Amino acid sequence: MSSPTSSPAWQDLAAHRDEIAGARVADLFVADPGRGPALTFACAGLAVDFSKQRLTNETLARLVALGRSRDLPGAINRLFTGERVNTTEDRPALHTALRGDERVVAGGEDVLAHVQRCRERMRIFSTAVRDGSWKGATGSPIRHVLSLGIGGSYLGPRLAVEALAAIADGPEVRFVANVDPAALDDALAGLDPAATLVVVASKTFTTQETMANARAARRWLADALGEAALARHMVAATASAAEAGRFGIPECNVFPFGEWVGGRYSVWSSVGLPIAIAVGMPAFERFLAGAHAVDLEFRSAPLERNVPFLLAATALWNRNFLGIPVHLVLPYAQRLASLPGYLQQLEMESNGKRVSAAGEALAWTTCPALFGEAGTLGQHAFYQWLHQGTDEASCDFIVVARPMGGREGDPAALLANALAQSEALMTGRATGDPHRDCPGNRPSTTIVLESLEPASLGALVALYEHKTFALGTLWGVNPFDQFGVELGKAIAGRILPALAGEASDLHPATRHLLDTIGRAARGGTGRA
C-alpha cells in the first residue's frame, strides 16, 4: 500500500488542520451546545466521549475518508478471517477467535475447535483448583498461585486479576515478571510450597526472563517437595508444548494456544488461566464476552460510528496533524492502576515502528510515548507538566459510573476530580499571573464504564486492541511484530558469560561498565 501522506485524504486533513488552527475546544462548545451528546458514542456497554478533542464534525468526516482510503474495512475483514496480517512473520493474528464463536480455518487448522478444547480444559482445571479437588503432592489444596511471565503474559493477567479483585474468591494469585531475583523472593515470601501452584506463561517457552524465574521456582518446589511432586505444582500456558516438555512439565499440564496468538494479545488464551482460577471460569468467560461484543461492533459498524476506529483516528489526528508527542491514560479507578502499563506494551510495542509493513523507511511519525497513573495519584505527580508544561499531551480519562468499595463519599470525590481535570485541561485558566495561568485546549477523550466487572473490562481492553490495529493500518505498519525487542536480549546473551568470568566479545563501553560494577561490588568507589 502506498504512503498515507501521499493520499488526497491526508492532504485534505492537512489543509483542514490549517483552517481550524486557532480553534479552542471551549469555544466549540459555545458554538454548539449539543456537542457533548453528538460526539459521544456507545460501544459494547461503554460510552466514549470525544467532545473535548480538538476537532470538528468536518475533521471526523475527513478522518473517515482517510480510513476508507487505507482500506480499513478490508483490513478488519482480513484480521477476523485468518489472513496472514502479520506479514513479517507470515501468520494470522487471531486473538479475536479466542473470544468468539465463529468457525475460522487458518493453515488448515480449525481454530474454533482448538479454542473450545483449550477453554474446556481451563474450565475443568480452574474449577478443580478452586474447589480443592486438585491437590498438591502432599494432599494439600492449592491456596496460592504464582504466575510467571513477562510482557503480555504478565501484564494482561495481572491487570485482570487486580481489576476484578472485588469478585476474586479463589486462591491468591501473585505475579512475577522481573528477572531480578528479589522479585521472585518477594512473591514467594510466606508461601507454602505444598499449597502453591506455579503457572509458567510463555509463547515460545524460551523467553529468557520467564524461564529464569521458572527454573528458580522449580528449584524452590523441588527442594521442598522433591522432583516427583512437580507434576502437581507446575503447569504451562504456551504455544510450544514440546519446549514445556523439555523443561519438565508433562503434556497433561500444558494448556496450549496457537502460534497465531501474539504475546501482547494473549490474555484471552490459556495465558488467562490465573484469571480463571482467581475469579472462576464463568467470570473469565464474561470477560471474553465483553471483548467479543467489541469485536462485533468493530467488524460491523460504519467508520462514522465505529468507536475503535474513532479512537484510532483521533489519536492519529493528535499525533500527525497536531504534533502531540505524548499520550496519557488516566484511569480514575484504583483497580485499573495496571492499565497504563498494559497499554504501554500494547500500543508502543505494536506501533513503535520506523519502517512500513513493506520494510520502507517512514516519512511520518507513528506511536506517541504513552504513560499514565491511576486517579488522583497522577495529579500530584505529572499533572503540573500536563497543565503548564511546554509540550502538549493528549489524554484518555477512564471513569467508572458505579465504583465499588470505599466509604460513602469517596467515589464522588474521585469522580469529581476526573471531571474537573478533563474540564481544566480544556478550558485552562487566565488570571493575569503567568505563574498561575494555564493555556488549556489540551485534547482528551473520556471513556465511561457502567461498572468495573468482567464484561466491561473485556470490552475496554478489546477497544484498545482494535484502536491499535486500526492505527497500524492507517500508518502502514505491522502491529504484530516486535523485532526491536530482540536486540537488547541478544546483547544480554553475550554479556552473561562475561559476568560469569568467561571470555566474551564485548563493546568497550560495556566492558568499562562491567569493570566499574565489579569494583563497586568489591566495595570500591566504582571509579578507576
Residue 349 a catalytic site member: yes
- Residue with C-alpha cell 504513560? 371
Which of 58, 227, 251, 489 is the catalytic position?
Answer: 489
Q: What ranges in 453-507 are assigned the alpha helix state H? A: 454-475, 484-499
End-to-end CA distance of the chain: 55
Selecting among 349, 373, 453, 465, the annotated active-site residue is 349
Per DSSP, the three-state class of 143 is coil
Q: Is there a catalytic annotation at residue 203?
A: no
Q: Is 20 helix (H, G, I), strand (E, B) or coil?
A: coil
| 179 CB burial (10 A radius; 0-12, 13-18, 19+) | middle
CA distance 403 to 459: 17
What is the phi/psi pair of residue 485, to 5°? -70, -25
- Give ∠ CA 145-255-210 in degrees, rounded to 5: 60
**Integer angstrom CA distances of residue 160 from 100, 152, 275, 347, 423:** 19, 12, 7, 18, 29
Query: What does residue 327 show for φ and ψ, rounded to 5 degrees?
Result: -125, 135
- Three-state DSSP at 396 gives strand
Side-chain-side CA neighbours of residue 81 (13 Å): 8
Give the whole-angstrom CA distance, residue 143 versus residue 171: 5
318 neighbors 474 (Cβ within 8 angstroms): no
Question: Concatenated DSSP letters for 151-189?
Answer: THHHHHHHHHHHHTGGG--SSEEEEE---SHHHHHHHHT
- 219, 223, 415, 450 from 198: Cα distances, Å: 12, 15, 38, 34
Q: How far apart are CA 209 and CA 287, in angstroms?
A: 28
Buried b / exposed e over 3-42, threshold 16 CB at 10 Å, is ebeebebbebbeebbeeeeebebeebbeeeeebeeebebe
CB 18 within 8 A of CB 377: no
State the Cα–Cα distance between residues 300 and 77, nearest whole angstrom.
Answer: 10
Distance CA 279, CA 98 (A): 19
**Is 489 tagged catalytic?**
yes
Q: State the catalytic residues.
A: 349, 380, 489
